[in-house]
């Protein structure tokens, strides 16, 4: 799988997770974006059109009253990190 495909999968999973959490908490997009993040930017993140910046991730988590790690607890991220760390360990051992 190409790295760009992996990022698309991560983004899709992130946006699905975000939508699920927001709906479970019964919050609107306006409430979730708050005053510090434009609703339009939030909508792009939730639709999977763009990754949130670190600042946006923190703002969203704060407004949802959850730990930011909940938003990033995704199988695709764990798989991506595991694959990358194995490659790094192998290259370190071969030197």
Question: Averaged over 58-84, what is the pLDDT?
Answer: 92
Residue 13 falls inside a structural domain: yes
Residue 41 falls inside a structural domain: yes
DSSP 47: T
> Is the separation of the CB atoms in 68 and 31 below 8 Å?
no
Taking alpha carbons only, the member of 61, 19, 56 closest to residue 37 is 56
**Could you report how far apart the first and last alpha carbons of the chain are, in Å?**
26
Residue 91 falls inside a structural domain: no
Residue 94 falls inside a structural domain: no
How many whole angstroms from its chain centre is CA 18? 8
User: Residue 79 sits in which domain range?
Assistant: 3-86
pLDDT tens by residue, 81-92:
887 666 656 555
Number of structural domains, the chain? 1
pTM score: 0.81
What CATH code is carried by the domain that includes residue 29? 1.10.260.40
Q: Which helix (H) or strand (E) holds 86?
A: helix 75-93
């Amino acid at each position: 799988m190409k790295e760009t495909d992996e990022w698309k999968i991560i983004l899709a999973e992130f946006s699905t997770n975000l939508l699920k959490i927001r709906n479970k908490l019964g919050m609107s997009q306006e409430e979730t974006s708050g005053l510090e993040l434009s609703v339009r930017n939030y909508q792009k993140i939730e639709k999977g059109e763009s990754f949130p910046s670190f600042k946006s991730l923190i703002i969203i988590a704060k407004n949802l009253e959850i730990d930011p790690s909940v938003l990033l607890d995704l199988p695709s991220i764990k798989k991506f990190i595991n694959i990358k760390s194995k490659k790094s360990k192998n290259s370190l051992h071969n030197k």
